[in-house]
Amino acid sequence: MRHYLSLKDIDSLNDWVAEARDLKKNPSSSKELGRDKTIGLLFFNNSLRTRLSTQKAAMNLGMDVIVMNFGSEGWSLEYTDGTIMDQGAAEHVKEAAQVVSQYCDIIGIRAFSSLINKEDDEAELVLSNFAKYASVPVVNMESSVGHPLQALADAITISEHSMAQKPKVVLSWAPHPKALPQAVANSFVEMMQMQEADFIITHPEGYDLNPEITKNCSIEHDQEKALRNADFVYVKNWSSYSSYGKVLTENPEWMITKEKLGNAKFMHCLPVRRNVVVEDAVLDSEHSLVIEQANNRTFAAQVVLKKILEEN
């Protein structure tokens, strides 16, 4: 059974990107593939893009779609084996995952990190337990650790706009008033490691991502230096990994401005806080790819669902 839990489930990024770009030209080309199949999308957290683009992708493949805001409407779940369930949780994930599998041929799960307990977050309790106990394939719609649908859409966007064989791509931390997960940044790093690029990560001291993910990526604490001659600047806030889940600084000097961006293309997964993460002049310019990234979410999801339907 093929799941899509992380970018490791992609056998060839180039092939998947090429197939997604073909689907973009003819979204209904595989409309028969999903006939009489149902996808269930379970949201433990809010969403705009993931929710709508994954539904759209499934509909392009002829699937029926069930969406549930599990976080606010489902029973509170227990994840530990052997627990005496006399506290808050009303249902064990063992039953929940098997029950959803009776109604759905594919299950999508969105469950963010708590940013409280690193061990639990890294175990991806919700996603991994659904993958363990469901009898159908599971798709990661953003977990504690990664957002592989976003990263695949970002790969599509970069391929569409890249002029160079080996573009310079910078992942820059930006300020934000709230503590945000590292998932988007993690998956972007993993995706960049899967392709030819001059890739640099820039962030203030204390904001190193998990070194098991960044491995031997170049890290530069001088943002101006990192951004020099960039072709693509991917901007994202994340909370500290070492001081887990903490906001160590909101230094506005890390906001991306038109001047800092230069001739580069601006990328962000959205939602974005204007004039905190990036100034209006960037988002409202032709340098911004954010709407195209959001559009490519449909074709990233569609290629993932298509591969799953073809193999199951």
Contact footprint for ligand CP (CB under 6 A): 47-50, 142, 150, 269-271
Residue 147 CB, nearest approach to ligand CP (Å): 6
Structure tokens at 16: 């998947």
What angle do the packed helices 148-161 and 183-192 form, to 10 degrees?
50
Closest CA to 44 of 129, 102, 103: 129
Residue 232 CB, nearest approach to ligand CP (Å): 17
Rounded distance, CA 266 to CA 83, Å?
48
Q: Which is nearer to ligand CP, 191 or 226 (CB)?
A: 191
Q: Which is nearer to ligand CP, 138 or 226 (CB)?
A: 138
SS3 for 285? coil
* Residue count (the chain): 312
Residue 141 CB, nearest approach to ligand CP (Å): 8
Q: Which is nearer to ligand CP, 16 or 188 (CB)?
A: 188
Name the DSSP class of 168: E
Rounded distance, CA 273 to CA 262, Å?
21
Q: Which is nearer to ligand CP, 252 or 271 (CB)?
A: 271
Q: Which is nearer to ligand CP, 92 or 236 (CB)?
A: 236
Which residue's C-beta sits nearest to ligand CP? 50
Rounded distance, CA 230 to CA 172, Å?
11
Residue 180 CB, nearest approach to ligand CP (Å): 11
Cβ neighbors of 35 (< 8 A, separation 6 or more) are 62
Residue 49 CB, nearest approach to ligand CP (Å): 4
